[in-house]
Amino acid sequence: MSKAPIPQCIGIIMDGNRRFAKEENKDPWEGHRAGAETLKTVVSAAQEKGIRHLIFYTLSTENWKRDPKEVEFLLALLKEFFTAYLPEAIEKGTRIRIAGQKERFPEDVQAVFSDAEERTKNAASLTVWFALSYGGRAEILQAVNALVRAGVEEVSEEMFEARLWTAGMPDPDLIIRTGGEIRLSNFLPWQSVYSELFFTDTYWPAFTKDEFHSILEAYASRARRFGR
């Protein structure tokens, strides 16, 4: 009996943090803190399954428009998370990559990102991508502009993909969105053209290892034809 197929790359839209906090009668940012713990749980579960790439939609280009106090908290939480998570990532052989407009972050946060990427660059077990100040349209435009500046007249898919923020990441086999919304919200529009999509009503902080495993089982039952 053959083993069920394991996705090589999974994208996750972590939605529902604020609604989770509201239902728990907590401040919105406490939902983000709970969501950070869920992220670590899912990374561990993916590593156990032999998945090679995970990409989390962590902060979109549109999220900068939120209440300044919430944005301030998110920046502090990112710095706190990467600082605390780095030793665990190194121990478990997890590589950390950042995809997005890193230059939009304060210098101290950029430094934390760079340190995490540098100190895990030789890890080979699992690569965890964090889409930060990420928007799919912005990603495509910056890749096009990079090709224009390079004077390229005829573009291949390979040349274009090499200039994306996710260069080096396989296209996601599977994209999961929590929180009950049924859309991709500007997440990986180029890379997701043949991704299998799963939507769950579960808020991200309440998403469990068991539900992740159930989605992997459902994924294994789908026939992927890639247009053939």
Q: Please give the positions annotated as active site.
A: 15, 63
Residue 56: other Cβ atoms inside 10 A: 22
Among 94, 163, 150, smallest CA distance to 123 is for 94
Place of tokens 């083993």: 3
DSSP 8-class letter at 201? S
DSSP 8-class letter at 62? G
What type of residue sits at position 132? L
Angle between helices 68-92 and 107-119 (to 10 degrees): 20
Place of tokens 């995490």: 116
User: Are the beta carbons of 96 and 56 closer than 8 angstroms?
Assistant: no
What are 134's strand-pairing partners?
Answer: 60
Rounded Cα distance between 98 and 104, Å, is: 13
| Helix residue spans in 7-151 (DSSP H) | 17-23, 28-49, 68-92, 107-119, 136-149
Rounded Cα distance between 167 and 140, Å, is: 12
3-state secondary structure (DSSP) of residue 165: coil
